[in-house]
Structure 1
Amino acid sequence: MLMGRRPSLWISVCCCCCWPGSLVPSYLLLKEILSSFSCKLSKLFNNPSANSSAKALKVIFHDFPGGPEGFELFARFCYKNGDLQITPSNTPLLHCIAHFMEMSKATLSSSPCLINSTRKSLEMIQFWTWSDTVNSLKQCQELSAISGSSAVLGKILDSLLARIAAISDASPSDSPESSALRFSCDTRSTVSVKTGNSRSWWFEDLVLLDPRMIEKVIKGMLSRKIEHGTISRFLFYYLKSRLSNAALYEKKKKATEVTIELLNCLDVNSVSCKRLFGILRVSSSLKISRACRSTLEAMIGAQIDQASLDNLLIPSSTLIDSIYDVNLILRFLKSFLDIVGKELVARLKRVGRLMDLYLAEVAPDSCLKPAKFVALIASLPDAARDCHDAIYRAIDMYLEVHSQLSDEEKMKICCCINYEKLSSECCKHLAKNAKFPSRITIQALVSQHSKLRSLLQDTNNIKSTQKSPLKGKQCEDGEQIILYAKKLDLSIENEKLKAHLQGMHWRVMELEKVCKKMQTQMTSIMKSRKYPATSSGSRSLPRLCS
């Protein structure tokens, strides 16, 4: 209770900002003193119905800024005729009280004006310490719904961002005593600067801000062109701090959603793919909104080529259709292709190698449906892989586990193989592999036959250009291979077909040896005759002969 001189009329003011049923503090004050500083009370007390009451006037405030503590500050200001110390720690609250009680001007010319006093304090904000600025910002987030808070928040936020921007632009070698860094001598942040971590010392001071205030801070940083890498590191640090404390479920969920949306505003190269996977794992238990999860998946997909196999091995939520979440990986790949397309071949091939590893992990899964397995293989364009040996091995494992599949289902799976990109070793293995349908074996043979034709044609072209004496031998070997392939009757029984295929592969191996020998001999002939190098003569032999 604040006491003044003996009044002619007392009033009781209750600040109802507490829980229903709780004890509400009351104050007996002189209405003349309060109304001389507050236009809001002056208008209320000048109401004829208020003056006609013989009883003490009772006024109830349901949302007074700062609750009972805020009202005490207001009353002390009035009773001391404005002689109240205004500091950075109470400036935001007093500024909001001045707006709430309509104290923009005094009702008496001799009465001090609270709004002017708080404005003068804000004009000196450049001399506030860093800790004063941070504490004032924390106070603003508690007053965000009150009229007048936006103006003071804007000034405090601008001051804080200017200091962070000065640190971000400063050289790491700058000393903490420099003008850009000398904000405070009483804050733990100064210690962080002295340890050499001069660009991220402010992280720990801002983690106590709520997600709404963090959103304002980050958007302010973006407008000031602060480095996206710094912002990204802070957001991951902020989220980790919020998730590790004992906050309520809803607060953790809100912090996660806000962090994801803010990370999405940054340059994709400044956001760590590994850390995004960390958020993904945490968000599963928080049940973030569908739109927010889609945003997170799109960010991961955009840089899936930076991921590792362990990142992709995310367990399925149901464990019915598959052990791992295959649908999630397919969404990642779709996002990647939407952004990258087929132009960035290097990135595309990195994803191809990653998916080959992933296929080897999921192929033994007995719950994985054929359609999903095919979708995984076909999710990337053919340019993503130079060799299909890994795909063949994955299919081989899948057919081993899913032996009950029909030939038609096996054919759909095997159609994903580009037989021209199979090595001779894999083709030889395929010829003897009983798990594959006979038609697939034939397709592999035809493909290898085409490769042999191309090889022989290229070899003939080289020898005709160099007028090599080995022409007769080459033609004989080539004709033998081609005639051998033509003699195959594709309608014969499977066992005979496999025997022919095996013989064909032996001939391929023999041809490779001949080609290597020819290459050595042609090199010797060119050196001995000293023929000038021509465009056709400098052409290297195909990979099969190298």
Structure 2
Amino acid sequence: MASEAPSTPSKRQAWFCTTGLPSDVVIEVDHMTFHLHKFPLMSKSKKLNDLITQQEKEQLSLNKLNYQNDDDVESDEEELEEQEQCHVSLANFPGGVETFETAAKFCYGVKIELTAGKVTSLRCAGEVLEMTEEYSENNLISKTEKFLTLNVFANIRDSIKALKSCENLYPLAENLGIVERCIHTISSKASLYDPTSFGWPVNETPSAVAGGATAAKSRNPWIEDLAKLSSPMFNRVISSMRENEINEDIIETCLMHYANRCFPGINRANRNPPVSSSSSSMIPSEKEQRELLENIIANLSPVRSSRSPATARFLFGLLRTANILGVSVARKSDLESKIGAQLDKATLDDLLIPSYSYLNETLYDVDCVERILDYFLECYEEGEIEGGNVRGLTAVMVVGRLIDGYLSEIASDSNLKPEKFCELAMSLPEQARLYNDGVYRAVDVYLKAHPWISEEDREKVSGVINCEKLTLEACTHAAQNERLPLRVVVQVLFFEQLQLRQAIAGTLLSAEAGAADDSPQPSINRQSNDDVEGEDRRVATWRATKRENQVLRLDMDSMRTRVHELERECSSMKKVIEKIDSVGTPQNEGNKGWKKGSFGRKFGCRFKTQVCDSHESSVVETRKGRHHSKNTHQH
């Protein structure tokens, strides 16, 4: 059997059976003309038998009529042979030329090879040609049904391949129940797989997860096969999984693969679209892409969980694509809620969502990040973060650092309003920031990038800093920062002084306690000659501690000098502020002295003013007293 190409492109291709016998039937399928023989076709196909028999009867009646009307009939054998050859046209044949060729070979007794991708079209071809068991034994329908039952429906990958081939066989494949059986098999077989063996994440950079991705494909290649289905067919499979209560992790895993295939831009590490052999006409329109993305988002698990297979990076990629395609507000809200449940697993790069709306003047979509943060805090307050209170507190602190980094990144945007900056900075609870160095850095960047804002706005922006939570390094920088308002600088100086005092007091107490606890007591500890070595070790420890105390005293002297300098600076600033008060309130000229509490009211400091009124002499005397008692104890 062989096919013969046409001499010109306009002609049909011809297919001849190389049996040596002249063909007596011509069957046209699409662009191909098959020159075959009646007997093998009519013995297997009831449809072809009926068509050929009917055509023979019509031809016979026509020939009789022509012979009766023609008195001068001359025998023309060639013309009679052409008239005896039947012509059958099979329009819209399932599977096209290739499938009919295989069916024709089956009629001739040629052994055919069945595969998961071809068996569905052959099953439909057998239905069209009526190749039933009642008409002929061991016919095409029974052969393909047996292969489907024993081979295809016993394996999830073969079922997916068969389902994929059904996409071009509608509605016949649906009417024959092949589609439903494939979907049922996929759904039931998927429940047998362990979602923890999928090897996520699947959307990171190839170099970062090359080994994991390869392992995932080798363990569960059916996930990749499922992602090749069309959107309607894929949605039916997901719906069937939900009806059968398949593990949500498995469903989300399938959705992630499908989304990455349909929208390559979701993975920011790989923006190049996959190479495809399809023509440009097959590229879906923007509307079709939007509907596809909405279906993917709708099929994601509605349960907010920080342990979802859908990673934060993948969800942020979906959100960016949703903004570009103009997905409905409801679907974007669902996506933002799901992102909020695992915001602590996001990165700063994830949060930098470009602003696609002309209504937003800022470079990045700050409103979106604020909504996501609200969803996260809602999960935290309701106790929905897995791991209990400790895990929740850790997650909040991670998000606190993340938001501070985001604030530093967007602070240089000239279109970012002070109100929006303060609103986002103050959205976090107090326990989210162990130190305020991050938010101080963001404020410093904002003030540097917005030198034109009013003094009132400068006060408002600087007010998000809790000076009490600044480290000594941040305090040192802030005390010399000319961009900060005077009130904030005063607060910083005070708390820096307070931290130094507490450090000195703590050092003194620990040094005294260490010396008392580690002093040698040989008369008590030496109970026998066997304890000599242990006693020597204790003496050595005591001597080492004594040397450490001497080093600590040197450090304390340095700190004491710094405290004295800060106290002098604070005292001079009080005098300056007193002058400002006296100039600003002339009606109170009779009372120009420093009013207790006026400092705190004017500058909004959250501390008692008498702390700054300590005198150097009293501090030195107190410490001298401690040293005197300590020396007495040692001697």
- Aligned partner of 2:373 among 319, 333, 344: 333
Cα separation, partners in 2 of 1:133 and 1:315, compared to 1, 3 Å: closer
Q: Does the residue aligned with 1:270 lie in a helix, a strand or coil?
A: coil
Whole-angstrom CA distance in 1 between matches of 2:216 and 2:371 = 42
Question: Which residue of structure 1 lines up, in the alignment, with residue 344 of structure 2?
Answer: 305
- Aligned partner of 1:118 among 133, 141, 144: 144
Question: Which residue of structure 1 lines up, in the alignment, with residue 99 of structure 2?
Answer: 70
Whole-angstrom CA distance in 2 between matches of 1:417 and 1:15 = 79
Cα drift, residue 387 of structure 1: 5.3
Cα drift, residue 331 of structure 1: 3.3
Alignment check: 8 A CA contact 1:138 1:209 kept: yes
- 1:314-353 per-residue CA deviation (whole Å, 9 max, x = no partner) reads 4545898334332332232233345444655543333222
Alignment check: 8 A CA contact 2:363 2:413 kept: yes
Q: Does the residue aligned with 2:321 lie in a helix, a strand or coil?
A: helix
Whole-angstrom CA distance in 2 between matches of 1:376 and 1:430 = 22
Whole-angstrom CA distance in 2 between matches of 1:169 and 1:372 = 42
Say yes or no: does 1:87 pair with 2:114. Answer: yes
Whole-angstrom CA distance in 2 between matches of 1:369 and 1:421 = 25
Alignment check: 8 A CA contact 2:16 2:34 kept: no
Whole-angstrom CA distance in 2 between matches of 1:304 and 1:113 = 60
Cα drift, residue 304 of structure 1: 0.9
Cα drift, residue 66 of structure 1: 0.4
Whole-angstrom CA distance in 1 between matches of 2:217 and 2:138 = 46
The amino acid that maps onto 1:306 is K
Say yes or no: does 1:400 pair with 2:400. Answer: no
Question: Which residue of structure 2 lines up, in the alignment, with residue 250 of structure 1?
Answer: 284
Whole-angstrom CA distance in 2 between matches of 1:306 and 1:170 = 18
Alignment of 1:425-440 (within 5 A): 435=483
Alignment of 1:128-167 (within 5 A): 133=159, 135-148=161-174, 151-159=177-185, 165-166=191-192
Cα drift, residue 413 of structure 1: 3.5
Question: Which residue of structure 2 lines up, in the alignment, with residue 372 of structure 1?
Answer: 420
Cα drift, residue 398 of structure 1: 1.6
Q: TM-score, normalised by structure 2?
A: 0.52
The amino acid that maps onto 1:200 is N
Alignment check: 8 A CA contact 1:99 1:148 kept: no
Alignment check: 8 A CA contact 1:167 1:199 kept: no
Name whichever of 208-217 and 250-259 sits farther off. Answer: 250-259
The amino acid that maps onto 2:124 is C
- 1:430-466 per-residue CA deviation (whole Å, 9 max, x = no partner) reads 788764567x669969x99xx9xxx9xxxxxxxxxxx
Cα drift, residue 124 of structure 1: 1.7
Whole-angstrom CA distance in 2 between matches of 1:341 and 1:351 = 14
Cα drift, residue 97 of structure 1: 2.6
Alignment of 1:143-222 (within 5 A): 143-148=169-174, 151-159=177-185, 165-166=191-192, 168=194, 199-203=219-223, 208-218=228-238
The amino acid that maps onto 1:328 is C
What stretches of structure 1 of length at least 5 have no aligned partner?
A: 17-22, 173-191, 456-480, 525-546
- 1:257-285 per-residue CA deviation (whole Å, 9 max, x = no partner) reads 66555544686513253541673487379
The amino acid that maps onto 1:363 is A
Whole-angstrom CA distance in 2 between matches of 1:210 and 1:414 = 54
Cα drift, residue 422 of structure 1: 6.9
What stretches of structure 2 of length at least 5 have no aligned partner?
A: 1-14, 64-82, 199-211, 265-272, 384-391, 503-570, 586-593, 630-635
Say yes or no: does 1:352 pair with 2:391. Answer: no
Whole-angstrom CA distance in 2 between matches of 1:170 and 1:409 = 51
Cα drift, residue 388 of structure 1: 4.7
- Aligned partner of 2:311 among 265, 273, 278: 273
Alignment check: 8 A CA contact 1:100 1:147 kept: no
The amino acid that maps onto 2:149 is E
Cα separation, partners in 2 of 1:429 and 1:196, compared to 1, 3 Å: closer
Alignment check: 8 A CA contact 2:131 2:139 kept: yes
Q: TM-score, normalised by structure 1?
A: 0.59
Cα drift, residue 15 of structure 1: 3.6
Alignment of 1:453-468 (within 5 A): none
Cα separation, partners in 2 of 1:271 and 1:83, compared to 1, 3 Å: same
Whole-angstrom CA distance in 2 between matches of 1:283 and 1:443 = 48
Q: Does the residue aligned with 1:125 lie in a helix, a strand or coil?
A: helix
Please, what is the CA RMSD of the aligned residues?
Answer: 6.0
Cα drift, residue 393 of structure 1: 4.3
Name whichever of 24-33 and 214-223 sits farther off. Answer: 24-33
- Aligned partner of 1:391 among 439, 443, 451: 439
The amino acid that maps onto 1:283 is T
The amino acid that maps onto 1:357 is G
Alignment check: 8 A CA contact 1:2 1:28 kept: yes
Q: Does the residue aligned with 2:307 lie in a helix, a strand or coil?
A: helix
Whole-angstrom CA distance in 2 between matches of 1:144 and 1:268 = 41
Name whichever of 350-359 and 325-334 sits farther off. Answer: 325-334
The higher relative CO (CA closer than 8 Å, separation ≥ 6) is in 1
Whole-angstrom CA distance in 1 between matches of 2:255 and 2:313 = 11
Q: Does the residue aligned with 1:269 lie in a helix, a strand or coil?
A: coil
The amino acid that maps onto 2:371 is R
The alignment-based identity, stated in percent, is 27
Q: Does the residue aligned with 2:350 lie in a helix, a strand or coil?
A: helix
Cα drift, residue 63 of structure 1: 3.0
Whole-angstrom CA distance in 1 between matches of 2:367 and 2:260 = 27
The amino acid that maps onto 1:307 is A
Alignment check: 8 A CA contact 2:408 2:442 kept: yes
Cα drift, residue 417 of structure 1: 5.1
Name whichever of 504-513 and 261-270 sits farther off. Answer: 504-513
Alignment check: 8 A CA contact 2:152 2:159 kept: no
Whole-angstrom CA distance in 2 between matches of 1:430 and 1:492 = 28
The amino acid that maps onto 1:68 is V
